[in-house]
Chains A and B, each alone.
Chain A
Amino acid sequence: MTELIAQQLLNGLTQGMAYALVALGLTMIFGVLHVINFAHGEFYMLGGLAAVLGVTTAGLPYALAIALAVVTVSIVAWLVDRIAVAPVLDTRDGPATVLLTTFAVSLLIHQAVLQSWGPAPGRIDGLPGAISFGSIVLGYQRLLVLVAGIALLAGIEFVLRRMAIGRKVRAIAQSAYAAQVVGIDIITVRRVTFIAAAALAGLTGALLVPVTLFSPAMGQHVIINAFVIVVIGGMGSPIGAVVCGLLLGVLEALASTVVPQEIGTAIIYALLLAALLVRPQGLFGSVRT
């Protein structure tokens, strides 16, 4: 029984780390740009695709394929920001309009991948092998996801707390107006945030593809969960996204030992909804009017 729980804990943590990393980018964009990026899942998918193509077509080692994924997604994100986000953001009802433009972009990216790569799934192996303690097994690739996830989170925390750009990001998240008054170049910080968050999603895609396989629909699948996590964690709260992502992964895995998986998810959602009645600003959101 303890072995079952321990194994499920590991399963839940790796799944939760995937949730957390995608949600983190989404929530960063919301925090700084105050928009919801509908195309975020497609960045995740593109990262996965770039890694698969890097290994299978270009014959790169996996580590380089990950780098390729980050670069590719960054370029696409820069383009998306130029075309669909930055120019509409400051118009009247900008945030609502960005919902539409990023939705259109997500359709375009998805269709482009379907036309070029096709609907077939793809597979690369990443780090093969596993460590086991008795019957408890942890694949190296999953271990990589966990370790890289923790490193990324620590890195982002460091950037946000200790570096100039991080302080600017936090300042804008608190009040774009005040940040502008003290002379922060809000346009640049927004662009950097958008691209960095997209690159994070791409990186996550590249890390996850050996575990979950590549499929052109993977972006559409991940965005919903990520979205729920962002909203529950408190929109714009990085800590909230990370904690809620990990928590959701672990709770789902543990609940699956007792109730059918989908029922478990429904119950977890209902509980969170009730919890939010007490903390309406999201579990980690700050009170903002």
Chain B
Amino acid sequence: MMRSGIALILAAAVVLPLALSGNAYYSGLAAYAAILGLFGLSVNLTVGYLGYISFGHAAFYGLGAYAAGLLVTKRGFNFWLALLLAPLPAAALGALVGFASARVGGAYFAIATLTTAEILRLVAANWMDMTRGPLGLLVQRPRVAAIESFGLVFHQYYLAICLLVLALSLEIVRRLIKSPVGRSWATIRESSALAESLGMPAVRQRVVNIALSGALAGLAGALFVPRTLVLTPELFSPTLSATGLLIAILGGKATLFGPLLGGLTFALLPEVLRFIDEYRIAIFALVLLLVVRLQPSGLVAFIPRLRGDVVKAPAFPAGDPALQFRPAETLSATGLTRRFGGLTAVEDISLAIAPRELVGIIGPNGAGKTTCLSLLSGFLSPSEGAVTFGGVTISDGAPHAAARSGLIRTFQQTAVTPRNSVYENVLAATYNRQPEHVWACLIQNAAYRKREAQRAAQAMACIALVGLRHRADDLAGSLPYGELKMLSIAAALAANPRLLLLDEPAAGLNHTEANQLSVLLRKLRDLGLTVGVIDHNLRMMMALCDRIIVLDRGRLLASGSAAEVRANPAVIKAYLGPGWNKGDAHALS
């Protein structure tokens, strides 16, 4: 469906200019609608797909317009060549703003875009030598004699080019959102910690998204130049930024064709109402209010077929899922200490997890188990000591690097993307199998398609393995708690782990579910995966684990088989001390 939508726009690029041959007004409006649609598409990329609200996308739009205009007027470039170059500064600005925002947070993006647009507006208004300020940069109509020799007039091929650019941009975005890169945006939007744990570099993918969004907005701005022909600082105005944001919301956030409908509305409706010029803005506002009240999910909801394809899970292969894990390495920690302010959460812990081991880490409340796991998986950097995996130091501050080397963790509070299906969640997690470059996702050659097929197969195998076959096409948000836990394990498995660290996977599970979990973990070990488990459920842990490590008040207390640990007087004392509870004692006895 999404493809046929794009094909339709391509067909329009051929038909419309011919159909509107004698009508510069309507073809001009169509071109303007295409430009606004492209601008909305760009805003939607960050607002819809990344979850970063932008209050200043006009910064990119205006920069694209000015870049094209300056290349033409100051450097004598052909406009159509300048059109190709104009998105570059906007992309660079996007990367810059994106880099700062991705590190400090989404709110910063809202501020940064808003103020950057305002700064650029002030610069454009006052840098007289360069932009002629409010006098405006005058650009000639970029007529192409070669095309006109075929009998076409300017407004015809201008419309054709606008529609072609729009179709091309839509195809780019379509390919990306269906690729590992685009799927990672959905995960990052939900939780960047989850994304990092699955090997997705959140900062980098955000920068890629925002740079691309900037480039598309810059392209829209450059395309706008032949329509306006006078470039004024108003191209950076907050009104324009608001228009972009409203187009994305009105059309339908995080949908491919929503911004197109929004752009169409914003371009056409006020013009269609010209015959009542006096009241047209008021009526436009009324219609807007009415539409939003009737259909809050955006215009795209009026046309369900345009809402985008639901990614259906492929058929399950017959028989047992075939999953293979990469040979593991030894994870070892030496002298780990982590302090938070004056509090020492973990102190001088040295431990090792050997390949194909199933190790449990237990300890009373406040023993530092989760801190320890965060240190082991690279989510926290130690104050002292080091963690190595297969001899390679787990670098701090970039958990995705740890995930990349095969060290995958899960979270105590289950993290999934609730608005995506089980299959989509797990498929997104296959990112780590082989991270794809943006270019590969755009070109989609045979090798890439083969890898995509492998990723799909892997996702299906993981879903089957955790017993969620019947749930593959259900929304993750609709799963009951126990299945949600299983889903997060499936996602972790899809991330191609060599060593899996599970943070309290049995918390909140009932007896049957806990048993199923035990079975699953043993099976994983048998399949060659190394597993480390943190949990409170001592009964399950004692029965399950090859070896148990006991932590108490941030220190390593004991390590050994279940029997050895159970007999250790220090362990008994720790469990009978503060933080002790009946269930624990029962399991120990």
Contact = CB atoms under 8 A, between A and B. Distances in A.
Interface of A: 38, 83-84, 87-88, 91-94, 96-97, 99-101, 103-105, 107-108, 111-112, 115, 224, 227-228, 231-232, 235, 260, 262-263, 265-266, 269-270, 272-273, 276-277, 280-282, 285
A108 B107 contact: no
Contacts of A111: 279, 281-282, 285
A104 B114 contact: no
User: Among the interface residues B116, B286, B293, which one has the most CB atoms of the partner chain A within 10 A?
Assistant: B293
Given A265-B122, A273-B115, 16 more contacts: A96-B253, A100-B246, A100-B249, A101-B292, A227-B114, A228-B115, A231-B55, A232-B115, A260-B126, A262-B126, A263-B126, A270-B119, A276-B111, A277-B108, A280-B104, A281-B105
B552 to A, nearest CB: 30
Contacts of B108: 276-277, 280
B29 to A, nearest CB: 20
B104 A105 contact: no
Nearest to A266: B122
B296 A93 contact: yes
Nearest to B191: A289
User: Among the interface residues A111, A228, A232, A270, which one has the most CB atoms of the partner chain B within 10 A?
Assistant: A111
Interface string B248-291: 01100100000000000000000000000011011011101100
Contacts of A269: 115, 118-119, 122
Contacts, number: 114
Contacts of A263: 122, 126
B238 A224 contact: yes
B249 A99 contact: yes
Nearest to B105: A280
A235 B286 CA distance: 29
Contacts of A108: 282, 285-286, 289
User: Among the interface residues A105, A115, A280, which one has the most CB atoms of the partner chain B within 10 A?
Assistant: A280
B110 to A, nearest CB: 6
B460 interface: no
12 contacts: A96-B249, A97-B249, A105-B285, A107-B282, A107-B284, A108-B286, A111-B279, A231-B55, A231-B114, A263-B126, A265-B122, A272-B115
B283 to A, nearest CB: 9
Contacts of B278: 115
A116 to B, nearest CB: 12
B296 A88 contact: yes
B352 interface: no
Contact of B297 (A93, A115, A272): A93
B99 to A, nearest CB: 11
Contacts of A272: 115
Contacts of B246: 99-100, 103
Contacts of B119: 266, 269-270, 273
Nearest to A267: B119
Contacts of A99: 245-246, 249
Nearest to A109: B285
B242 A38 contact: yes
B100 A84 contact: no
A273 B281 contact: no
Nearest to A225: B118
A103 B242 contact: yes
Interface string B95-115: 000001000110110111011
Given A228-B118, A263-B122, A273-B116, A101 B249 contact: no
Nearest to A224: B238
B107 A282 contact: yes
A104 B296 contact: no
B279 to A, nearest CB: 8
B572 interface: no
B123 interface: yes
Given A93-B296, A269-B118, A280-B107, A104 B245 contact: no
B293 A87 contact: yes
B354 to A, nearest CB: 37
A194 B326 CA distance: 58
Contacts of A101: 289, 292-293
A198 B281 CA distance: 23
A105 B289 contact: yes
Nearest to B108: A280
B137 interface: no
A252 to B, nearest CB: 12
Contacts of B281: 107, 111
Ranked 5 nearest A-B pairs via Cβ = A280-B104, A107-B285, A266-B122, A111-B282, A104-B289
B125 interface: yes
B242 A285 contact: no
A288 B282 CA distance: 38
A104 B292 contact: yes
Contacts of B279: 111
A69 B303 CA distance: 44
B252 to A, nearest CB: 10
A266 B111 CA distance: 14
B115 A92 contact: no
A38 B116 CA distance: 20
A91 B249 CA distance: 14
Nearest to B419: A92
A276 B112 CA distance: 9
Given A92-B296, A270-B119, A277-B100, A104 B285 contact: yes
B293 A231 contact: no
B267 to A, nearest CB: 16
A111 to B, nearest CB: 4
A100 B250 contact: yes
Contact of A88 (B111, B284, B292): B292
A232 B250 CA distance: 27
A232 B288 contact: no
B306 to A, nearest CB: 18
Nearest to B239: A220
A281 B115 CA distance: 15
B273 to A, nearest CB: 12
A273 B293 contact: no
Contact of B125 (A38, A107, A231, A262): A262
Nearest to B101: A280
Contacts of B253: 93, 96
A263 B133 CA distance: 13
Nearest to A107: B285
B288 A104 contact: yes
A182 B573 CA distance: 40
A19 B126 CA distance: 24
Contacts of A232: 111, 115
Contacts of B289: 83-84, 101, 104-105, 108
Contacts of B55: 227, 231
Contacts of B105: 280-281
A144 to B, nearest CB: 30
Interface in B492-514: none
A281 B285 CA distance: 33
A231 B285 contact: no
Interface in B157-215: none
Contacts of B250: 100
A227 B245 CA distance: 15
A33 B100 CA distance: 28
B292 to A, nearest CB: 5
Contacts of A88: 292-293, 296
Contacts of A94: 296
A28 B250 CA distance: 25
Contacts of A282: 107, 111
A97 B292 contact: yes
A107 B285 CA distance: 6
B362 to A, nearest CB: 29
A91 B294 CA distance: 11
B104 to A, nearest CB: 3
User: Among the interface residues A91, A273, A281, which one has the most CB atoms of the partner chain B within 10 A?
Assistant: A273
